[in-house]
A and B are shown apart, each in its own frame.
Chain A
Amino acid sequence: MRQLRIEDLDDLATGAAVLGTGGGGNPYRGKLMAELAMRETGPVTVLEPDELDDDALVIPVWNIGAPVCSMERIHKGDEGLRALRALEKFLGRQVAAVSPVEVGGSNSTLPLRVAAQTGLPVVDCDGMGRAYPEVHMVTATLFGVPVTPGTVVDAAGNCVYLETADNEEAERLARVVCVQMGGTASMAAFSMSARQLREAMIPGTLRLAQRIGGTIRQARRSHTDPVQATLEITGGLRLFEGKIVDVERRVTRGWAKGHYDVQGKDEVLRVDFQNEFLIARTLAGRVLCTVPDLIAAVDTQTGEPITTENLRYGYRVTVLGIPCDRRWRTPEGIALGGPGHFGYEGSYVPVEERVN
C-alpha cells in the first residue's frame, strides 16, 4: 500500500503519455482533473493486486472516445463517478477498489479522480500496459473476463447500461453510444474479483509510468538525452528521426483516425493511427513496428511525448518502438491486439527482431 500525492502526478502523466502511444486521452487534462479532486480530499491510496481479498470487487473506470474530443469537450466532472455508482447499483454489490484499464494517457489518472471522489483505493495495474482504441482490447478479455455488465455515462446526465453477448459486441455498442454522447464518455465495466484481477491484468503499471516520467524529468535536469533515458527504462528502440511534414486526422466512427509523415534524412516514415499509433513503416513499405508493440512519438530534443491531437506540421520528432507486455505476444494476444485486428496484412514480428 502506498499513497499517491499531487506531487506524483506530473511524472505519472509524462510516463502515461509515453505508454499511451499517442492516445489514451490527453494526459495534461487527466492530471488536472485528478489534481482538482485530490486538492479537496487528499492523497489516494494505491494497493498492489495481492493486497486485496480474493473476493473483493474491483471495478475499472476509464474514458472512451476520440482524443481530440476529450481535449475540446471538457467533461462535466462526475462522469466517471456516476458510471461507477451506476454499475455498483446494477451489480447490487459494494466495490472495494477501482482500477485503471489503460495505463496510457489520461486513463491512468481518471481512476485517481474517482478514487479521490469516493475515498476508494486504486489497484496498481491495468489491462494493456499501453493504450488501445477499443473497449475489449484488454488482457482481461484474453482471460475470459466479460466487459459487461457495464455503464457509459455522459455530461448531459445520460447513463446507458450495457449487457452484451461478448466483448466485441460491447465495443461495437459502447462506441455507438459514445459517438452520440459527443465522442467522449466515461465507462465502468470489466468488474472482476481480486482473484481474477491478479491473473487477468498487468500489475505495477502505474508505478512503471511514474518511473518513466521521473527518468525523463531527471534526464532533462542533468542534460543527458531524455530520449535515450526513455529507451533505457522501457527497453525501447529508436526507430526514426525527422520532421513532421503531414498530419491527416479525422474523427471517424468515434475515433481519431489518420496518419502522420515524418521526413527523415533520406526517407519518409508514415505512422497510421486510430487514437493510438498502430503501425510505423516507410513509404517504401519497410515496416519498423506494429501493434501490440508500443509506438511513441517524442520531441527529439526534450523527450516530451506527443499525442495524436498535438501532432503538428514542423515538429521534430523521434519515433520509438517499445516491446509490449508478454501477454500480448501469445497467439490470442496477437489476434486481439495485433496488426491483423486493424486490417493490416502480414504477421506480427516483435519490434526488437524487426530492428536488429
Chain B
Amino acid sequence: MRVSPYLWCGSALLVALVLSLTLGSEPFPLEDIGRTLLRGFGLLESSPETETDDKIFFGLRLPGSVLMLLVGAALGGSGAAYQGLLRNPLADPYLIGVAPGAALGLVTALSVFRALPVSPEITTLAASLPVAAFLGAILTVFVVYRIARVDSSAPVTTLILAGVAIGAFATALTWFLMLQTEYNSNRIVLFMLGGYSQGGWPPVLTALPYIGAGLIIIILLARPLNVLQFGEEQALQMGLPVERVKLVLILAASLAAAASVAVAGIIGFVGLVVPHVIRIIWGPDYRRLIPLATLTGATTLLVADTITRAVASVRVLPVGIVTALMGVPFFIYLLRREKRSYW
C-alpha cells in the first residue's frame, strides 16, 4: 500500500510542530502542553502557578511556532512557484528582488529614523520596520518586472537577469547605508541572517493575510504552472494566457515571500531546496508539488528553528545558518542518489 505523500508530509509537519512546542531553551513536556491547551479552552482550572506557564505557552511558544510554520510554508510554496514560472532550478523566493529589497527597505527606514532630530519611540520603530521591509521588497519586484517587460511580455531570462542586477544594486546600497552608521547594525545583521521576529501574535496576524492569499493563489494556479513547463510558446498555443498567469504568479509568490521576510528576516535555502526535494521524491507535477512543498517548507523551518532555540543560550545561531547546514547536505545526498534526471 503506497502511503499518500500528503500523509507523509502532513505527519512530518505535525511531528515538527510538536517538537517545536516541546523543545527549546527550556523543555515544555507534552502532558503540560495538553493541560495548557485544556486550560486555554476553559476545560481545566487554572491557578497562579499555571498562569506563568500558560502565558509563556500562549504568548510566546505557540505564536513563535505558528510563525515559523507560516513562514516556512510561504517559502516552500513561493519557491516552488518561482522555480515553475521561471523554469529555472536555481530560482528561490528571493531571486527577483524580495530579499535585497526588504533589506534595503529596512536599512533605509533605520537611516531615516537616525537622521531625525528626535529619536522615535522604540515601539514605533519596531512596528514600522516590517512595513518598511515589506514595501522595499514589493517595490523592488515591481521595478524588476517593469524593467524586464518588453512590449507586453516579460521574458523569463530577462526577469532573472533584471532581478539579479537590481538585487545586486539594492544590496550595494544596503551595505553602503549600513556602513554609514554603527547604529542598529546589530539589528540589520540579525535581519539578514533570518529568524529574528518580535515574538507574540502580532507578526503572525500581520503576515497571515498575505501569506495565505499568496499560497492559495499559487495552489490554484498549479495546473497552469504545469502547462508553462512546456515552454511559453507551446503554452500560448495550448490556450494559456501566459503573461497574465506569470504576472499573477509573480505577485502571489512575491507577496508571500515579502511578508515572510518582513516578519522573520531573510531565511535562505528553504525556498530553494525544499521544492527540489519534493520533486526528486514525488515528481514534478505542480498540482502535487506546490502543496507538498508548502507543507515540507513549514516542517523544515520548524525543525531548524527548534534547533536554533535549543542552542540559543550557548551559541548565537540564526535560523538561516541552520537551514543551510541542514538543507544542503541532505539535498546533495538526494542528488547523488537519484540517477535519473528529475528536472
Chain A complexes with chain B: no
B→A interface (CB under 8 Å): none
A→B interface (CB under 8 Å): none
